[in-house]
Structure formats: C-alpha cells, structure tokens
Amino acid sequence: MENNEPNEEKISPEDAIASLKKIQIDDKEFFIVGTAHISKESVEDVEKAVELVDPDTICVELCEPRYQSIVEKDKWKKMDIFKVVKEKKSLFLLIQLILSSFYDKLGKQLDVPPGAEMLKGIELAKAKNKKLILADRKIEITLKRVWGGLSLWGKAKMFFNLSGSLFVTEKIDSDTIENMKQSDQLESSLEELAKNFPGIKHRLIDERDIYLAEKIRTAPGKRVVAVVGAGHVNGICHYIHKENDLEEISSVPPPSLWPKVFAWSIPTAFVAILLYGFFQNGVSESMASLQIWVLVNGIFAAVGVAFALGHPLTILAAFVASPLTSLNPMIAAGWVCGLVQAYFKRPTVRDVEDLKASFSSFKGVWLNPVSRVLLVVILANLGSSLGSFVAGSWIITRFLGS
C-alpha cells in the first residue's frame, strides 16, 4: 500500500536555534548554546536544544558556589558575617553583591530571573536523567585572578565602575538583550572592556573560554549540549579542538613580593626615624613623631568608619587600632573594626534575607547592617592606608628638614 503522507524532514538544532553552534570532533557532537543571562528567548533556546539533540550530557556555565546559589534560594540566610571578615573576603563579597544586584535589576525589568537559562538546563538534566556538568571555573578564583592582575589605580577604577551600577535607572528592553548576543555587539563590548581595563579581558573571558572548552570537551557521552554566555561561544569553539591544561588558570598566583616590601617599609622607616630622633634630639622629637603617627592614622581610619555609619564604639576602635595595625601589616584595621561592628550591631536573619535587595540603591547598602559591616572593613582599611601615607610623609618631611 502506497503511503501518500508527506515525508517530514527533521529540523537540525543549528537551523532551529540561531544562537547554537554545532562542533563535531571524531565521533562526538557538541552543541554550544549561546545565551544572555536575563533572556526569555535564551530559556526557550535551551529547552529547544535539549529536545532536539537529546544529549547524554548537559553542561552549564556555573561553578559549584554559583550552582548552590541558584538551587538554594535561602543560602544568604546561612552566611556568617564574622567568618567573612576573618577570612578577608569582605571586598570580594561586596563586589559579588554589586554584580548580583545589577543583574537582579535587569531581571526585574524583563521579568526574567538572572540565570534562568542555566536553571532550565539544570532542571532538564534532572528531569530527563542526563549527566549534569558544572563547567565554569570557581568564581572566587576568577575574581582573585582578575583583582590580582590590576594595578592600584585599576582596582579603584573597577570598584567605582561597579559601584556606579547602583545608580543605573535606564530601562533595558528584551530587544537590547537579544542584540547583545550578536557577535559584533559582543566584540565591541569586549574591546571596550579591554581598553578600559587592560588584562581583565584575558582573565575574565579568555581564561574561562579555555576552562569551559576543556570541561565541555571532556564531558561524558557522545552528544553534549553546553549552555554558556554568548560572549564565550567563539572562544570555546576555538579551544575545544585541543587538550587544554587547566592547572595554571585554576590557581591563584602567589602575591608579588613588592607589596609586602612596601607594607613593611613604612613601619620600619617609622621606627627608625623614631629611634634616630630619640638619640639625636631627645624624647621630645620622638614624642612629636609618635603623636603625628597616632593622631593622623587614627583620625583617617575613624573618619572612614564614620562615613560607613559605623557604631560609635567601632569608630573608637578604628582610632585606637589603626596606629597599631599600621605597624603590623599582618593585621588590618578593617578586620578589627568589622568584627567590632558585627558584635555591637549583630545582623539578624531578616537583615541577611534583605541583603541582595539592599543593593538596589546606595541608601540600602549603607542602611543594611550586613553590608554596613563590609563597608566598615573596606573604608577602615582605606582610611588607615591613607593615614599611614600622610603621617609617614609628614614625619619624613620633618626628619629631612631637621
């Protein structure tokens, strides 16, 4: 019997999904889905890709900590602010919160939770019993490598640029987001990033392209769907054809010796001048230098904490601790002040729950007790460093003029 039904030609994934690229390596097929992190279309692309490809493995551009933050919505409630301060993670946490807040703002405008396409990939892997691979480098390593590669001016510039995102009120529509997935738009954005922050693009984008490519290349199964940000697609397609060594880019390089030398040179010079003044001009000269060090250092640190709206006793702690901690680079004034602030203004569970929402404005950041602890740590350290520089310069000037 003749079959008169028309033959239906199966649509290939790369024809059905504009943001998808297929790569064949030997007998293994890779389907790279380029997404925007706040795009409904990207969520649909992921779902469509998994349906058409029926992969053995789904890779997502997440590391374990970011995965946990997506699947555990209440993770913020478990944060120990004392532990954050003791482990010297205040600045990194503040940067993550600023970035997260910026994406949350955009997500609310577009009615799409940030990372919805990654969550869709996770859900599909579980629902269809597929192997799930977290293919991205740990965010802490990425941030430390980026931060460590910046000059002092670059760090300040980057931080103020990130802080500026708290002021962003411009509405962004879905068309703008989708346009950003186009290669020409992405290339111009990355070129602008490289121009403003030399070295950042390599550590933030290029290294992760290598890392993602290797994790995707070595994923189990014959058919692999990878859900990644559109800015990584070209890099992954370039690096996936060869074996890549991840050891070097998976570690935090040891800090340079020069910052340590500089940090110890200030207290060493201060003590040397103090002793010289004592033997040459008596106790009065040494006491004058000591007063300058204590008052200038203490006042600068105290002003920094006051600007962070620290507790009165935290301001006092800054004034007392800074002249001492400045003579011992192993201890920072900010750590002392952060612990004092957290003790006297202990954040509640509600404060922690409201933390991310607080970063929608500068006022919110300053008023939330958790973020205020982070500000106290950072501004106390900044004030103490400036105080050491001013006091040290003043004392050296007096010494040279005597």
- Geometric angle at alpha carbon 323, from 322 and 329, rounded to 5°: 75
Q: Do 384 and 297 touch, CB atoms closer than 8 A?
A: yes
Q: What is the rounded CA–CA span in Å between residue 147 and residue 142?
A: 8
Q: What is the mean pLDDT of the chain?
A: 79
Between 211 and 197, name the one with better pLDDT.
211
Between 387 and 148, name the one with better pLDDT.
387
pTM: 0.67
Residue 303, helix vs strand vs coil: helix
Q: What is the mean pLDDT of residues 398-402?
A: 70
Q: What is the rounded CA–CA span in Å between residue 374 and residue 341?
A: 10
Report the DSSP beta bridge partners of residue 227: 33, 60
- The string of DSSP letters for 188-243 reads HHHHHHHHHSTTHHIIIIIHHHHHHHHHHHT-SSSEEEEEEEGGGHHHHHHHTTS-
* Phi, then psi, of 31 in degrees rounded to 5: -120, 105
Between 209 and 266, name the one with better pLDDT.
209
Q: What is the rounded CA–CA span in Å between residue 310 and residue 308?
A: 5
pLDDT above 70 covers a percentage of the chain that reads 68
Instruction: Kindly tell me if the per-residue pLDDT of 131 is higher than 90.
Output: yes
For the ranges 84-98, 102-116, 218-232, which has the lowest average pLDDT?
102-116
